[in-house]
Amino acid sequence: MNLPKVFEEKMKDLLGSEYEAYTACYDEPRHYGLRVNTAKISVEDFLKIAPWPLEPVPWIHNGFYYDGDNIQPSKHPYYFAGLYYLQEPSAMTPADRLPVEPGDRVLDVCAAPGGKATELGGAKLGGTGVLAANDLSSSRAKGLLKNLELFGIGNVLILSEEPGKLVSYFPEYFDKILIDAPCSGEGMFRKEKKMVKAWEEHGPEFFQRSREAL
């Protein structure tokens, strides 16, 4: 893969002797993952009806790898029934690690498109407590709502607000807060080649200014 020269130099400085191992990962196959919606079906029961081979993600109890080069889970009826969410294994980690307990009041600050929120509101809260799922973009918030509805999560409040203003609306209200902030897209280089061009055109400074404006 042809990475931006400025990006390469930055990573060389950051990684030192590990840089070659880092660049080698771009030649490895991409990992595809799905996360079972345990609010609707247990992992055990889903594996009984799964129409394709699945391999467990070692650090996510309801996460699995699938062969995305040969199957399309997004076109299966189980997807439209909300039995699973398609998500890269690394992206499953933030919501999985947040120590949410049933009955908690939870805020997902940057929630769209819903990968974290569906796990927090479904598997973690299990219909108890409340989940406030926020995204600054109103158009992305609509997609967020669609995914939460698909998962059958009712204990949720959808917001589209500048994060700083939420403090005055909900003073000392939430038990747990998750901020998985938007980034400059460098982690998307292998997944979407067009992100390389976008990074070259804008660079991280563009996204940094956008975050500072919040």
Q: Which residue type occupies 132?
A: A
Cβ atoms within 10 A of the Cβ of 45, count? 13
pLDDT tens per residue across span 17-54: 999 998 888 888 888 999 999 999 999 999 999 999 99
122 domain-assigned = yes
CATH of the domain at 101: 3.40.50.150
131 domain-assigned = yes
Average pLDDT over residues 123-127: 90
- Judge whether residue 211 has pLDDT over 70: no
- Judge whether residue 149 has pLDDT over 50: yes
pLDDT tens per residue across span 53-97: 999 999 999 999 999 999 999 999 999 999 999 999 989 999 999
> What percentage of the chain reaches a pLDDT higher than 90?
68
195 domain-assigned = no
pLDDT of residue 209: 57
201 domain-assigned = no
Burial of 27 (0-12, 13-18, 19+ CB in 10 A): exposed
Q: What is the DSSP letter of 123?
A: I
Domain of 133 in residue numbering reads as: 31-182
Residue 66 pairs in a beta bridge with 32
149 domain-assigned = yes
Contact 112, 140 (CB under 8 A): yes
Single pTM value for the model: 0.84
Counting the structural domains of the chain, the total is 1
153 domain-assigned = yes
65 domain-assigned = yes
Confidence of residue 180 (pLDDT cuts 50, 70, 90): confident
CA gap 152, 150 in Å, rounded = 5
21 domain-assigned = no
